[in-house]
Structure 1
Amino acid sequence: MIDDPRSTLLVIEDDPATRTFLADNLTADGYNVCVAGGVREGARELRTQFPDLVVLDVGLPDGSGLDLVRAVRRADVATQRVDPRTPMLVLSGRGDELDRIRGLEQGADDYLVKPFGYGELRCRVAALLRRSQDRTARGTVRVGSLVVDPLAREVWLDDQPVDLSQKEFELLRVLSSDPTRVFTKDELVLAVWQTRSLGSSRTLDSHACRLRVKLAASEQRFVLNVWGVGYRLIDAGPRS
């Protein structure tokens, strides 16, 4: 039995037979499994599925799996929608000591040499998940009566859930990453819409206004407009 049947695993493997074998067996063991066949597809799944753990091959058709490991470790959770602490188990046909050391130095949490037994892989996955079981709790941001969970994509205000659109949530997630910092409009547009300009559109201001209204139920003011610059979440430091 796995420790958390809700855990989502991302398997990045270009060999269809191996990918199917891992997905079928991990699913049978109770995990939620998503798959990718390369670095680019795997990076997209990381940004959209928020896996609890990644199992990835080194030799992929569009790059090295270790490049993806490095990118994850350097990710800014506030702007890239990737948790840099995501556990990553590397699979490789290269089993020399130097290869294993390089993999771990790049940021892999574990390194398993091919061919491997599924039982061993399953045990290593369970061990990594146990060590990271408080990752979601650590990622939760509390600002006064407002609670933002970036990984579960949930928002609570005065212990009541707040229903936000995708872009409203993304805007709040960025602002809550540093509640008293003033984020410029250019920074917010790039982080939320992945573009450097929305032209003359007031899209950002409209989303900020709607977000402010939805958070107005609390005595604390949220989403403050700093005229001529951008927005910040609150005036003072966060309160527990």
Structure 2
Amino acid sequence: MHQHTPSHFSVLLVEDDERTSAFLADNLAADGFSVAVATAAGEAVRQTEVRKPDLILLDLSLEQSSGLDVLDTIRCADGLASRIDPATPVIVLSGRVGEADRVRGFDRGVDDYVTKPFSYNELLGRMRAVLRRCSVRSERGVVRVGELTLDPMTRQVRLAGKPLHLSVKEFALLHHLSGDPTRVYPKADLLREVWGYLALGSTRTVDAHACRLRKKLSGTGRPFVLNVRGVGYRLTEGL
């Protein structure tokens, strides 16, 4: 007997075995999930961009590539140009039962690891547990730092309720800094992680964007982006 899921969660099932895919898609739909199916890595990435699923069930043994390639694409996304939320929860489905395989999966960022063959009811329970832990995604990853709010899916920024217009890189820099407002991010790390440059390059690019960002965030008369001399930048709550 199916237990109807009270929420309208969407699931992307990445599975190239037709029988497994049909079995899961039918049962998940009967349990109240909105289900989309992808059979290859490229299709999985495209559907993640378009559908923005609440949860991904990912088979590691795809015909033309490893499911880990899909996982890496998701976890390395900036949430901006790619339109993929890097925090999208992922449950791996795999016939690899070794401890080393499971540890490798968790190290790459999976939220749970289910080995084949599996019990559907156990999988359903694990899915619900992951969705509960990731319930913060009901706001699609909106970040709040004091009076500042950022929505990585729509690229909207508001300061004290008023919209701000930022360039793509200004938003990417602000979003990266907001990941841990208490942390000082070295300039070389920002250059590499936001711009994709090796740390050998000049950090003047970071300084220029941070300066413009500070000016745009100065509407309340209080600083949000602090320059820690000789180190890098961090966010404050504008206090």
**Could you tell me the TM-score, scaled by structure 2's length?**
0.62
Q: Deviations over 1:96-151 (max 9, x none)?
A: xx92977766545362746998xx69956862564235233696543221133456
Counterpart of 1:165 in structure 2: which amino acid? S
Does residue 63 of the first structure (1) align with residue 63 of the second (2)?
A: no
Counterpart in 2 of 1:132?
133
SS of the equivalent of 2:210 reads helix
1:37 to 37, 40, 45: 40
Matched residue type, 2:61: G
Residue from 97, 100, 105 that aligns with 1:99: 97
- Name the structure 1 match of 2:218: 216
Match of 2:82 in 1: none
- Paired AA for residue 157 in structure 2: V
Deviations 1:63-87 (A, max 9, x none): 365x876x69x98999xx732xx43
2:158 maps to amino acid:
W
Aligned equivalent of 2:206? 204
Q: Against the structure 1 CA distance between its residues 190 and 47, is the aligned structure 2 distance closer, same or farther, given a 3 Å change threshold?
A: farther
Q: Identify which range, 166-175 or 14-23, moves more after superposition.
A: 14-23
Q: Paired residue for 1:146, among 145, 148, 152?
A: 148
CA shift, 1:19, in A, is: 6.5
Structure 2: where are the runs of 5+ without partners?
Answer: 80-84
CA contact (8 A) 2:21 2:37 kept: no
Q: Distance in 1 between matches of 2:177 and 2:209?
A: 13
| Contact 2:149/2:158 (<8 A) preserved | yes
Match of 1:167 in 2: 169
Q: Which moved more, 1:54-63 or 1:132-141?
A: 132-141
Tell me: higher relative CO, structure 1 or 2? Use CA pairs within 8 A at least 6 residues apart: 1
Taking only aligned residues, the RMSD between alpha carbons, in angstroms, comes to 5.0
Structure 2 match to 1:225: 227
* Counterpart-to-counterpart distance in 1, 2:171 and 2:29: 30
Report the residue type matching 2:180 in the other structure. Answer: D
Aligned residues: 224
* Percent of aligned positions that are identical: 38
